Structure 1
């Protein structure tokens, strides 16, 4: 019987957490789990699972987990390193690295991160460069990531392996009469997600007498400064914006169902899971005119993500088209398998 070990002690939140849980659920259902080294933050979701080893979120705990891995690996085993980091020691097992953070392939910090985040990224980039030779295969989610990784090291064995348990539910544009929000932006508050410029675009719209409704989902606790920035802009310019905090993944579908259009101003993405979810929910999409969008979709509205006025201009075009029932209908450029198909391919 197939047995897979999953190593992801550093995956705690965001899209990585969602995809990791989908993998582990599928492995559990098929009784494929050999061992899984995961963050203690996932205890509630993985209660009762076999072979789970919970780890604290620090370097010592990760090093200890990797030592356990070293003393329990066998020639015919497969190990999926899902947390972007390869093993520091070459193992006998067949090792697969699932790389889903494009920031690790950059040589410079071009975004305004905190000092702590900059130090962590610098360490992880160096770690990846030194130890990437210890894996047999690398899986990525998009053609953009595949191209960037080949430029990073042309000798790597790289495969395009996206997956997501999210089915298309509606092939047409949503009924605007039933929608509460013109636009939705479900994302974390990282600087490259470009929330501040999006808010500036909404301020520009307000100056011209346009007040489209926008739903933003962020973590008010972790993104406190961003939340304050948005709140001040709402008060000062009477913006029609609601902010939801800590929305459960299962509840996101309900929010898509009351929204017309996904707006996505992010400056970089490895995958952009909400883009796929919004597409599957039948929403219109307006997004950054960047390569990661071109990788995924045709027939979407595009804007310059570095220019608030251009965002505002294209928001008006999108609104006008939706109201006139002539909105663009996005098309996905490649199929994205379900988790069960991904697991069977391991």
Structure 2
């Protein structure tokens, strides 16, 4: 039996990947047990015959689960960056997709830095409990190996992501429409983007910025409301489902991505698949997954403004993806 341990996954890009993984596993005849975060319990999983248990995402709950079931599984995929708390008899793969375990942005708050420092101590303590690490890019492989002294032979690069299957498309791509599909973690850098767009609009009186900010992100929502009241074309559409997201990508000219750190940058790949050009942060993670149309320094508002200004030119190159979906390779490891 296979264990999918995703106890710490409940939102954002990690949740998108988890949903896709479960969907594809359920198409196989593999016997799977899912250990999931109780915060997603209200969602109805479509399971054929496999079992699921929901727990509070805590180290103690997780340790107790492994103590009770350490010899029950033939292979384990830990999907939340941390290997099992204890050694098991199974072949263990740990999917690592959080760059904040590797590099912390300088402007991150002191408390947040302390929290991630503690998490890195746990990862270091548990790393002996996994056989292999799975990552999305060569960049993450290199950083993970260096930070935690893990042999590169034990780190497998297996990118995967859900393709868009919706037939909802549009032939009308709105000129100078810029989108940023992202959650609101501090490193996502929304406030600089909003300021940079406002300065761009002051200069050219062109463009529209669309964001996907949830209702509880008061600081960013306040910033958006101030700009809207001042007459700037900034629109927040909140959370969007996959079909609506597909429509948003296909009608927008650019996806601007100012994040300060990413393990993959799922939005970059999705946007390119749907014909968007990328205005990306001039950081290694961007080049690891794509060839962007334009880049900027994500720490400088004026650099964002300049990149937006350059996007008005008619000869901007198309963006190209450098990764492919290897979900079948991932699933083949689990037996």
TM-score greater than 0.5 by the shorter chain:
yes
Contact 1:178 1:258 in 2 (8 A): yes
Contact 2:180 2:211 in 1 (8 A): yes
**Equivalent residue for 1:333?**
322
Pairwise CA RMSD of aligned residues? 2.3
Q: CA deviation at 1:227?
A: 1.1
More deviation in 126-135 or 26-35?
26-35
CA distance, structure 2, for counterparts of residue 225 and residue 114 of structure 1? 18
CA distance, structure 2, for counterparts of residue 299 and residue 218 of structure 1? 24
1:10 aligned to which of 8, 11, 20: 8
DSSP 3-state at the match of 2:54 = strand
Deviations 1:208-237 (A, max 9, x none): 24341011012122x12211122113323x
2:288 aligned to which of 282, 291, 295: 295
DSSP 3-state at the match of 1:29 = coil
CA distance, structure 1, for counterparts of residue 156 and residue 288 of structure 2? 16
Runs of 5+ unmatched residues, structure 2: none
Q: CA deviation at 1:345?
A: 3.8
Runs of 5+ unmatched residues, structure 1: none
**Equivalent residue for 2:68?**
68
**Equivalent residue for 1:202?**
197
Contact 2:75 2:92 in 1 (8 A): yes
**Equivalent residue for 1:262?**
255
Aligned residues: 328
TM-score with structure 1 setting the length: 0.87
1:286 paired to 2:279: yes
CA distance, structure 2, for counterparts of residue 47 and residue 335 of structure 1? 26
**Equivalent residue for 1:83?**
80
Deviations 1:62-118 (A, max 9, x none): 233232332524xxx110011111112111111111000011123x56243483x44
1:163 paired to 2:160: yes
TM-score with structure 2 setting the length: 0.90
Q: CA deviation at 1:318?
A: 1.0
CA distance, structure 2, for counterparts of residue 101 and residue 90 of structure 1? 23
**Equivalent residue for 1:230?**
224
